Amino acid sequence: MKLKLILILIALTPLCHAQLADLTPGGFDMSNPPKIYQKLFDPRLRYMDQAIQGVFQFPDGEHYFNGWGSYYEPIGDLEGGIYFFTNLFVLKQASSVQVWWSFPPDLQPPFSLAMLFVSGRTLDNRNWGHLYQVPRGHRLQGLGTVTVDGRTPVRAIVYYWYAQ
């Protein structure tokens, strides 16, 4: 049984990457973002929610988070954990994280996943980012593997959709 499951997972691995277009291979230093990073400022692109894990510095001190951003402050258009998911919360300091999504076609407004922004802090304390685009054919349903740079632990995954 275990062998059969392993073979199925190996067979599906290429599909995980095929449903996300890597716009910034290897990621990028947030102090000098590439031009493609401007895609996040498209006025049609809207923030849904973000998955966060780690210690973050605030004016009143450090705080540890491990959950959806909407749990701490509901500011996105749609809460995570209903139509889009990640295994970030059960992993510790993971440099590779799974994401998956399934939006009903009749959901109003017509939500679908358009882009993901993944970030983390490198060992030398630089903020590093990685941008993924979801191809049109996979915006309602799909899965993928995301990383910051292959080594840096993922601290945040921000989910975006295109408003009509």
Residue 7 reports pLDDT greater than 70: no
Where residue 9 falls among pLDDT bands split at 50, 70, 90? very low
Residue 137 reports pLDDT greater than 60: yes
The helix/strand/coil state of 132 is strand
Residue 12 reports pLDDT greater than 60: no
Give the pLDDT confidence score for residue 111 in this predicted structure. 93
C-beta separation of 146 from 99 below 8 A: yes
pLDDT in tens, 83-92: 999 999 999 8
**Higher-pLDDT residue of 132, 59:** 132
The gap between the terminal CA atoms of the chain, to the nearest Å, is: 46
The helix/strand/coil state of 109 is coil
Give the pLDDT confidence score for residue 1 in this predicted structure. 55
Q: Give the global pTM.
A: 0.86
Give the pLDDT confidence score for residue 56 in this predicted structure. 85
Q: How far is CA 18 from CA 56, 86, 143, 150, in A?
A: 32, 17, 9, 17
Give the pLDDT confidence score for residue 17 in this predicted structure. 46
Q: Which residues contact 109 (CB under 8 A, 6 or more apart)?
A: 163, 164
pLDDT in tens, 13-68: 444 445 899 999 999 999 999 999 999 999 999 999 999 999 888 899 998 999 99
